[in-house]
A and B are shown apart, each in its own frame.
Chain A
Amino acid sequence: MSVGTAGDKLVEWLPAIAVFVLGIALWEGAISAFHIQQFLLPRPTQIASTFWTGRHQLWPAGWYTFKEALGGFLVGSALGVLVATFVARFEALGTALIPVAVAASAIPIIAFAPIFNAWLNPLSPTSKMAIAAVLCFLPVLVNTLRGLQSASPRQIELMRSYAASEREIWRRVRVPTALPYLFTALKVASVLAMIGAIVGEYFGGAFTALGVLIRSDAQILDFTHAWAGILVASLLGLSLYFGVVIVERMVIRWAPESRGS
């Protein structure tokens, strides 16, 4: 029962924080020591200061892209859960659909980004949401389905012995069993959503979008600004990820040791 105090948590995180700080320090030090050109690799301190001075442009752009990612994440994940539920209910459907889904998940869907831009209005957020949604859909579908099919046969037998209906078995056995699988998928999807939105923007989008901004910064060789944009993207991607983690901890309270990463 390691519920853990704030102090314990800090100790747990200490090695990670130390590695992070050390990495930044090495980065900063290496640039001075080896006289690395700024366009190759800017100093962390420069990136940080640009992050702040460019906030009026960078932060709204990040927010704009974040909304695309979030929209795509929600739509793609919801569809994934929906299809998984449907497939789990009708087994025949699963045998037809799952091999296709698994094969499809090996396709580098991000390669379709320019095509989505062409299909949908490239300047609207919808095309980026679509890319993010497609990226999120498959891992959520495959994982949720596996979760729904992982219910212990003994537990189902037990429920049958109580004359529980199919619906009750779903509610009390299948869904709770699937939840950890679902959240693992959602964490993967949260990262993919941000990637999808930004890469989509690399192939064209509104000037208020972060991906477009990073790309044009790189074209005019303003690398420090581009790096600051990447920092914004990373922070927003992480916040989406941790948003999922927080929801996970609220929903799955029963097994602290399975929470892990």
Chain B
Amino acid sequence: MSDQPVVRIEKVTKVFPRGNVTALQDIELDIAPGEFVSLIGPSGCGKSTLLRVIGDLIEPTEGAVTVNGKTARAARSDHDYGIVFQDAVLFDWRTVSKNIAVPLELLGWSRDRRAKRVDEMLELVELSGFGDHHPWQLSGGMQQRVSIARALAFEPALLLMDEPFGALDEMTRERLNLELLSIWQQLGSTVVFVTHSISEAVFLSTRVVVMSPRPGRIAGVVPVDLAYPRTVETREDPRFFELVTQVRELLRKRGEHLLPEEEASLLEAAE
């Protein structure tokens, strides 16, 4: 099973020509089917860039990304990606149902098939009955659930999430963490999840990839051996704290090579 990774990242380097910034350097990472991998690190460590390179929204300067044995470009053409951003990025002019249907329309699904799937997705994210609402009528947490439903509606091989809960309050965030895990387990999808929050990364993931800035590199990988399904109690498990500490140590160790103010911003960002 793990012989054929869903994502294979080989020697990926990304240099932004403007300012000659090396956002990513020699990134190597394999992601197995059904994994939930978090990318964590301070601002400027390239975690969002890496996510976009995987999704073929940014081209790497060097190296290659393979998704299900195909190039990232081919994977994108084959609709292998579902993406969720920090903002829900909903279309104001569409109802909730029609927002979820956008990728299905692009795939050329029939009206009936779309309607059926949209209803299933609404149920999955517990928004049944809100299909005819407009995005502005929903709370931030509900909007993000619509966005997740849209990303999953066409069963993409890979779900890419860029700080999806970063703009939400702590309570909503923890609830959506649980919901996301339950969806992930139901669908068996593979997830790459960018976050600023150590506890969120440990709580959700099968593996936490810790990144460091300038140039963006992988500082270390922490496998998370907490059992699924994870619940509210998981957050109080001593092992949970050990793993959180392990991730924090990795972030801090990289901080030794930084200027004091950079370290401060790094740790602040990582909290």
A interface residues with partner B (beta carbon < 8 Å): 1, 152, 154-155, 157-164, 168, 172-173, 176, 179, 252, 254-255, 257
Contact = CB atoms under 8 A, between A and B. Distances in A.
Is the interface on chain B under 10, 10 to 19, 20 to 34, or 35 or more residues?
20 to 34
Given A158-B89, A163-B77, 16 more contacts: A154-B87, A154-B89, A157-B85, A160-B76, A161-B55, A161-B56, A161-B57, A161-B82, A161-B83, A162-B102, A162-B106, A163-B106, A164-B106, A173-B91, A176-B91, A252-B93
A158 B77 contact: no
B189 to A, nearest CB: 15
Contacts of A173: 91
A253 to B, nearest CB: 8
Contact of A255 (B56, B85, B87, B134): B134
Given A154-B85, A161-B83, A254-B134, A172 B92 contact: no
Interface string B76-99: 111101110101010111100000
Interface of B: 55-57, 76-79, 81-83, 85, 87, 89, 91-94, 102-103, 105-106, 134, 136-137, 160
Closest 9 CB pairs of A and B: A254-B93, A161-B83, A176-B93, A154-B89, A163-B77, A162-B103, A162-B106, A161-B81, A163-B76
B145 to A, nearest CB: 16
A25 B76 CA distance: 69
Contacts of A157: 57, 83, 85
A240 B30 CA distance: 63
Contact of A162 (B79, B91, B136, B137): B79
B93 to A, nearest CB: 4
19 contacts: A154-B89, A157-B57, A157-B83, A157-B85, A158-B83, A158-B85, A158-B89, A160-B76, A161-B76, A161-B82, A162-B102, A162-B103, A168-B106, A172-B91, A172-B102, A173-B91, A176-B93, A254-B92, A255-B136
Nearest to B136: A255
Contacts of B134: 254-255
A77 B155 CA distance: 44
Contacts of B105: 172
Given A161-B57, A255-B134, A155 B91 contact: yes
Contacts of A164: 106
Q: Could you say which of A158, A159, A160, A254 has the most chain B C-beta atoms within 10 Å of its C-beta?
A: A158
A180 to B, nearest CB: 9
Contact of B92 (A154, A160, A255): A255
A158 B90 CA distance: 10
Nearest to B73: A163
B73 to A, nearest CB: 9
A194 to B, nearest CB: 30
B91 A160 contact: no
Nearest to A176: B93
B208 to A, nearest CB: 24
A154 B77 CA distance: 19
Contacts of A257: 136
Contacts of A152: 89
Contacts of B93: 176, 179, 252, 254-255
A179 B91 CA distance: 13
A155 B106 contact: no
